[in-house]
């Protein structure tokens, strides 16, 4: 039998410009990561690039956690971090990098905008949170939007396998967060460092299975996106996000997932000259509308279980 700790009442939003600055910075950084993955795929084999990013992030996060004397997770906490890393870094990362070879970066971000809704559904499946009708309606609208995106992209000769890989990447990313949330409270730095170490062998194995060459990048064009994604995406935005969760209600923070695709679509159009078919644009709008509706329904329900509220086994 498992017992859940009681979730505390959500704290009111912190006043001042600090939280809004952190929110905007997270949106800009995570909105840009899809573009940098696309750029990096031009110079470095995709899954090998993901493995290099993971290795650098694991080393840096471990070093920061040690320097800050964060306690290393053990027992149930370490198992939760390992499962988080298995699905997020070992499965979702390779699928994301591989799928984005043939799918526009902005559209990839739209598919990833479904993560808040998928997370709500999975949290209900694991009996962590309750669902409301509005959440289910939002999920249905987002699913219809994904179907429209598929129809528009298949008409533009985008392989169905790439689109399925990205949908699966977003779904496994949602699963990873739910599995981490089920475990005991732990250092977010160590959770990501241990997760990166757990996912790295799978990412390397996927790269080997695809027959990718494993040379280190010899140019700035090769290293630039990897370093940016490591420092800004894996470390910088994560630290800001963790700080923001402590200052704002988590539902408001989750709207980062709605703003990020707007940033990614704009950057993709400006930098990569990405153009979407009418059906894909309509589908993108439907996905975002569904996410907004679903998040409102989720916010109206019972307060979510606090991060780190343990499950005793």
Asked whether residue 71 carries a pLDDT value surpassing 60, the answer given is: yes
Q: Which residue has the higher pLDDT, 201 or 186?
A: 201
pLDDT for 309: 35
pLDDT for 14: 54
What's the rounded Cα separation, in Å, for the pair 231 and 175?
24
Q: Give 152's pLDDT tier (boundaries 50, 70, 90).
A: confident
What's the rounded Cα separation, in Å, for the pair 152 and 278?
7
Asked whether residue 4 carries a pLDDT value surpassing 70, the answer given is: no
Q: Which residue has the higher pLDDT, 101 or 254?
A: 101
Q: Which residue has the higher pLDDT, 103 or 241?
A: 103
Mean pLDDT confidence for 252-263: 80
pLDDT for 12: 52
pLDDT for 2: 35
Q: Give 250's pLDDT tier (boundaries 50, 70, 90).
A: low
Asked whether residue 312 carries a pLDDT value surpassing 50, the answer given is: no
Mean pLDDT confidence for 213-241: 91
- Percentage of residues in the chain having pLDDT higher than 70: 87
pLDDT for 200: 97
Q: In terms of pTM, does the model score above 0.85?
A: no
Q: Which residue has the higher pLDDT, 220 or 50?
A: 50
In terms of average pLDDT, the best of 11-20, 93-102, 231-240 is: 93-102
Q: Give 299's pLDDT tier (boundaries 50, 70, 90).
A: low
pLDDT for 278: 85
pLDDT for 5: 36
In terms of average pLDDT, the best of 92-96, 135-139, 142-146 is: 92-96
pLDDT for 180: 87
Asked whether residue 40 carries a pLDDT value surpassing 90, the answer given is: yes
Asked whether residue 21 carries a pLDDT value surpassing 50, the answer given is: yes
What's the rounded Cα separation, in Å, for the pair 270 and 102?
18
DSSP annotation string for the chain: ---BPPPPPPPPPPPSHHHHHHHHHHHHHHHHHHHHHHHHHTTS-HHHHHHHHHHHHHHHHHHHHHHTTPPPP-THHHHHHHHHHIIIIIIIHHHHHHHTTSS-HHHHHHHHTTHHHHHHHHHHHTTSS---HHHHHHHHHHHHHHHHHHHHHHHTT--HHHHHHHHHHHHHHHHHHHHHHHS----HHHHHHHHHHHHHHHHHHHHHHTT---PPP-SHHHHHHHHHIIIIIIIIHHHHHHHHHTTS-HHHHTTHHHHHHHHHHHHHHHHS-----HHHHHHHHHHHHHHHHHHHHHHHSSPPPPTT--B--
Mean pLDDT confidence for 187-203: 93
Mean pLDDT confidence for 142-168: 86
């Amino acid at each position: 039998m498992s017992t859940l700790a009681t979730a505390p009442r959500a704290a009111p939003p912190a006043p001042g410009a600090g939280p809004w600055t952190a929110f905007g910075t997270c949106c800009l950084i995570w909105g840009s990561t899809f573009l940098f993955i696309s750029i990096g795929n031009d110079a470095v084999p995709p899954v090998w690039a993901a493995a290099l990013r993971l290795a650098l992030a694991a080393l840096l996060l471990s070093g920061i956690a040690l320097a800050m004397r964060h306690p290393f997770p053990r027992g149930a906490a370490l198992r939760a971090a390992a499962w988080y890393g298995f699905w997020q870094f070992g499965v979702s990362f390779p699928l994301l990098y591989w799928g984005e070879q043939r799918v526009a970066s902005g559209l990839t971000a739209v598919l990833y905008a479904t993560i808040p809704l998928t997370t709500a559904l999975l949290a209900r499946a694991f009996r962590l949170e309750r669902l409301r009708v509005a959440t289910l309606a939002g999920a249905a609208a987002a699913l219809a939007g994904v179907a429209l995106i598929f129809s528009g992209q298949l008409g533009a000769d985008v392989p169905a396998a790439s689109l399925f890989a990205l949908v699966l990447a977003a779904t496994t990313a949602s699963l990873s967060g739910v599995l981490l949330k089920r475990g005991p409270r732990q250092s977010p730095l160590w959770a990501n460092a241990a997760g990166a170490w757990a996912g790295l062998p799978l990412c390397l194995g996927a790269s080997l299975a695809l027959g990718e060459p494993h040379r280190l990048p010899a140019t700035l064009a090769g290293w630039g996106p990897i370093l940016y994604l490591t420092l800004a995406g894996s470390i910088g935005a994560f630290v800001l996000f963790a700080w923001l969760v402590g200052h704002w209600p988590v539902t408001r923070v989750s709207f980062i997932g709605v703003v990020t695709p707007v940033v990614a679509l704009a950057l993709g159009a400006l930098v990569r000259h990405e153009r979407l078919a009418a059906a894909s644009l309509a589908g993108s709008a439907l996905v975002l509308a569904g996410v907004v509706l679903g998040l409102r329904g989720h916010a109206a329900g019972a307060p979510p279980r606090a991060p780190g509220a343990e499950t005793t086994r």
